[in-house]
Amino acid sequence: MKYLFVCVHNAGRSQMAEAFFNDEVKKKNLKNISCLSAGTDPTENINPVAVKAMKEIGIDLSKSSPKILTYDMIDSETKIITMGCNVNPEKINKLTDENVKDWELPNPAGLEISEVRKIRDDIKKRVEKLIKKAIDKSQLYEESVDDFALKYAKLKNSPRRLSNAQIAESMYMSTRTLQRRLKDAKLKGIKIGKSTASRKTMSEAKWGKVVDLIDSCDI
């Protein structure tokens, strides 16, 4: 799954979106998902106020540079998001027949940093929501069922007495995805018990430890 953030100059909004997206993917250890940003008429440098605003929250854009939108950036799986900067639709339609979504964000060019921060924070929220939807729709985790079961068990049996909704949030997935993965664990041979679980097909060396799962898995 690939996303492409497009604006005219690729100097502010789309660069911030790409940086936030890649940061979330890295933090959540997601696989099979990526993004790029590009401009239909890119400038030479990124907006320095945008660079400063992102640096405030620990993301460095100083080594990034605007890129021009090309055919090579788009394939049949690419989802295109424009930033609200009146991108000429003909320039995109010549490259792809895919639907294009517009986020309708204000232009940070020439704005004070206080206003750019608002745009930055809005983009961050949108990117987080975008990735969450992507997780719900596809299997982006390369994590094995066994690793998932161990992590789930550790959280479920912690002193904090977490609910499945809280566990789902901790594991960066929706409650629906958590329930599906629990069902996968059962189908793979993990026997659900109050304090123990075993897998018939797994070698002792591979399993290595008792997996604690509970009867109250809502699946």
Mean pLDDT of 15-33: 91
- Residue-wise pLDDT for 7-18, tens only, equals 999 999 999 999
Amino acid identity, position 113 = I
Q: Give the residue from 137, 167, 190 where a domain finishes.
A: 137
Question: What confidence category does residue 121 fall into, taking pLDDT thresholds of 50, 70 and 90?
Answer: very high
- Mean pLDDT, the chain, rounded, equals 79
Q: What is the pTM of this model?
A: 0.64
CATH number at residue 166: 1.10.10
One domain for residues 130 and 173: no
Q: Report the pLDDT value the prediction gives residue 202, as an integer from 0 to 100.
A: 43
Q: Report the pLDDT value the prediction gives residue 110, as an integer from 0 to 100.
A: 94
Structure tokens belonging to residue 20: 């936030």
117-136 burial code (b ≥16 CB/10 A, e <16): bebbeebbebbeebbbebbe
DSSP string, 71-122: GGG--TTEEEEE-SS---HHHHHTT--S-EEE--PPP-TT--HHHHHHHHHH
Domain count, the chain: 2
Facing residues of 15 across strands?
none
- Residue-wise pLDDT for 29-45, tens only, equals 887 789 999 999 999 99
